[in-house]
Amino acid sequence: MVAPYAEQLGFGLVAGFAVGYALKKVGKLLAVALGLLFVTLQVLASMGFLTVHWGEVQARVDPWFEADSLESVWHSVLAILTHNLTFAGAFVPGLVVGLRRG
């Protein structure tokens, strides 16, 4: 009688850990790529090949990092990752552990 629940919780925990671990690795890769893009833009700008209007860039990016926007994105990600999952109770803690360990 307990076995089906244990299987669902176990699989949810493992799946959550795997997703969290992968998200953190992809996030690190994305951070490196964005850093290299910034360095490349700065080098090209210093050599006179292009002009970057950083004020305009900041004005367009700032709304993405407001607290309400980040919270809604986090809730959307969790809703997508736990959709139709009966083991969401174990998935979310696994996701958190995977993000910390990754």
Contacts of 20 (CB under 8 A, 6+ apart): 94, 95, 96, 97, 98, 99, 100, 101, 102
pTM exceeds 0.75 for this model: no
Which residue type is seen at 44?
A: L
pLDDT for 23-32, tens place per residue? 999 999 999 9
Residue 47's pLDDT band (boundaries 50, 70, 90)? very high
87 contacts 14 by C-beta, under 8 angstroms: no
The rounded distance, in Å, linking the Cα atoms of 93 and 73 is 18
